Structure 1
Amino acid sequence: MDDGTTSRFSAGVALTALLVAAERAIETRRPEGLIEDPYAEFFVRAAETPVPLPVSPDEVEGGAADPVWGRGQQYFALRTRVFDDFLQDCAHRDGIRQLVLLGAGLDTRALRLDWPVGCVVYEVDRSDLFAFKQDVLGAMGVRPAVGDHQVVADLESNWARRLRAAGFDPVRPTAWVIEGVIPYLPAPVERGLLATVSALSVPGSAIAYEILHAQDTAKIRENSLYGQTKQKMGVHLSGLFSDDTRPDSARALAETGWEVSEEPVHRFTEQYGRGPVPGVDDPIAYARWVLGRRTHRLYEG
């Protein structure tokens, strides 16, 4: 790392973590913003990226008309708020004290959300992202008030073993968030990931994750929302997606004792009064956010 506070994000999924951090920084600067993430801007400014990333609405030339930093930013801001509220409901309303963020990236929920006493957050991701994150937050003198365990693991490997070694208790209800991860995974890995989550979840657990229907089609991959990401952030976002036909993971969860809803993004735009508007035929129209609660356990062979 350069001088202990910078890192080169040159390609791949790691760069998408910076993209989402930039989107959160922009939303934080909006008077009507859905979220407040005071750390996101520092991540973006500390990183070396192929193309400079904006951190405020004033730095986006096209405003709301920009596919990446306009409509795309609305999507990421809304997704962050929906998943924030999901976790807060799990902790405050349902009494869940064990929360796991799979593919946590540069997420700062352990720092910026209001957690009841006794909550423990487990973040699972790669060592390079955690090292960068810790350098930036350490330079700011920031420490989470909640128990926060960073678990270094690849979601395509035996991450569950490392999660349990870090203190995760599979007999306690857990809230799981898998945000901005599944579209990049091969279909067999997606199936295995969610099967493992289900096997580790007792009744009373909850899950939230994101899927993108038809992500393997040219219609989705070549849309301008993704096509301009190469110019605006240095990597073609849809080029990182798995081209596998996606499994029906929500149905698989339902078959093992989960009550699952698969919601279009525009439903949440209506609920929150802000977000990507419907009627545009782009990838956002095909995105679904899956929310589930485990009511009982069936045999999971």
Structure 2
Amino acid sequence: MAATAHHDTGVEEGVGTTALLVAAARAIETHRPDALARDVFAEHFVLAAPASAGWPTRLQQVPDGDANPLWGRFARYFGLRTRVLDDFLLQSVHTAGIRQIVLLGAGLDTRAFRLDWPSRSIVFEIDRTEVLAFKHKVLDGMSATAKAARAPVPVDLRADWVAALADSGFDRSAPSVWLAEGLLFYLPADAEASLIAAVDRLSTRGSALAYEVKLEPDLMTYRDSPLYTSTTRQIGIDLLDLFAKEPRPDSAGALTSKGWSASVHTPFEFTHRHGRGPLPEENDALAGNRWVFAHKP
């Protein structure tokens, strides 16, 4: 996934560019009067990357506003997802006493800077060197201050990230909360299974995990979905070309078999809970999306 711009930021093509898509969505959500989540750093990533030049960071910059499948409905989905996963992480650290937070494929995640963490918390951010360097350059330019200790782990998840995490100070004898947000879509089935198995091995009792998957019999069924076609047309990202097409493993079942408790939810459940977010529609590219929350008692 080498960059095509004059300098390699790690977010200039392929899966890396989807981090900018999420950042733009978070920026739009941040500026809504009824925002579910706020990320004041998000728009600065969008403005700093050549690949996202001209993308909106406010809904007012979108001519058809919320009617736009990409910057309306899809962006609202990312805003809802951000809020739900924020809540899960904060509940894990404040209620369960966890102090290690591991972001798998962290991308342009700024939770270390924008969430209120308990004292002695440490956030491990695992992603490729170029992606983390781009993020750090933007945040340093803003003089951003983290609200927890941060441990960037510059490693590709296809390499030995377990060793790199250990070298960064991760304590496998202490409970941890893990997050794989917008990651597993792009991994082959065996890579997803290996990652989930590694998380299990590294998690002691009291740990927690949240991740997102797509459970579809055939992704190509939604090739003509407004969400996918508008994303390709407006910003040149063909998500279906990036997603792994093979049948997905039953990762929730695998965790359950290892003693975890796991619950699987549709995003629409949280739309109803919060009163904002996407609802089901015809030819819906979000129909197979699931959010999984697991705990290791």
Matched residue type, 2:119:
V
Contact kept, 8 Å, 2:100 with 2:176, in 1: the verdict is yes
- Deviation of 1:10 (Å): 3.3
- Structure 2 distance, partners of 1:166, 1:8, is 21
- Structure 2 distance, partners of 1:6, 1:30, is 32
Change (3 A) 1:265 1:138: same
Contact kept, 8 Å, 2:112 with 2:123, in 1: the verdict is yes
Identify the residue that residue 41 of structure 1 maps to in structure 2.
43
Contact kept, 8 Å, 2:219 with 2:240, in 1: the verdict is no
3-state SS of the aligned residue for 1:99?
A: strand
Q: Please say which of residues 51-60 and 186-195 is displaced more in the overlay.
A: 51-60
Identify the residue that residue 19 of structure 2 maps to in structure 1.
17
- Structure 2 distance, partners of 1:198, 1:168, is 14
Equivalences, count: 293
Matched residue type, 1:12:
G
Matched residue type, 1:65:
A
Matched residue type, 2:121:
C
Identify the residue that residue 204 of structure 1 maps to in structure 2.
206
Change (3 A) 1:216 1:125: farther
> Superposition pairs for residues 85-234 of structure 1, below 5 Å?
85-214=87-216, 216-234=218-236
Change (3 A) 1:243 1:51: farther
Identify the residue that residue 80 of structure 1 maps to in structure 2.
82
Instruction: Work out which of the residue numbers 253, 268, 271 in structure 1 matches 2:270.
Output: 268
Root-mean-square deviation (Å): 1.8
Identify the residue that residue 299 of structure 1 maps to in structure 2.
none
3-state SS of the aligned residue for 2:286?
A: helix
Contact kept, 8 Å, 1:215 with 1:243, in 2: the verdict is no
- In the alignment, structure 1 segments of 5+ residues that lack a partner are 296-301
Change (3 A) 1:173 1:8: closer
Matched residue type, 2:241:
G
- Deviation of 1:136 (Å): 0.6
3-state SS of the aligned residue for 1:115?
A: coil
- Structure 2 distance, partners of 1:126, 1:106, is 11
Matched residue type, 2:228:
Y
Alpha-carbon deviations, 1:15-60, whole Å to 9, x = none? 0000000000000000100011110011101110166211001011
Contact kept, 8 Å, 1:194 with 1:249, in 2: the verdict is yes
- Deviation of 1:266 (Å): 0.6
Contact kept, 8 Å, 1:52 with 1:233, in 2: the verdict is no
Contact kept, 8 Å, 2:124 with 2:152, in 1: the verdict is yes
Matched residue type, 1:225:
L
- Deviation of 1:241 (Å): 0.5
- Structure 2 distance, partners of 1:238, 1:130, is 25
- Deviation of 1:217 (Å): 2.9
- Deviation of 1:285 (Å): 1.8
Matched residue type, 1:44:
V
3-state SS of the aligned residue for 2:107?
A: coil
- Structure 2 distance, partners of 1:245, 1:61, is 38
Matched residue type, 1:127:
T
- Structure 2 distance, partners of 1:107, 1:9, is 13
Contact kept, 8 Å, 1:121 with 1:146, in 2: the verdict is yes
Identify the residue that residue 241 of structure 1 maps to in structure 2.
243
- In the alignment, structure 2 segments of 5+ residues that lack a partner are none
- Structure 2 distance, partners of 1:170, 1:78, is 31
- Structure 2 distance, partners of 1:124, 1:6, is 18
Instruction: Work out which of the residue numbers 241, 252, 265 in structure 2 matches 1:250.
Output: 252
Contact kept, 8 Å, 1:100 with 1:122, in 2: the verdict is yes
- Structure 2 distance, partners of 1:221, 1:171, is 45
Contact kept, 8 Å, 1:5 with 1:46, in 2: the verdict is no
- Structure 2 distance, partners of 1:14, 1:5, is 14
- Structure 2 distance, partners of 1:107, 1:8, is 14
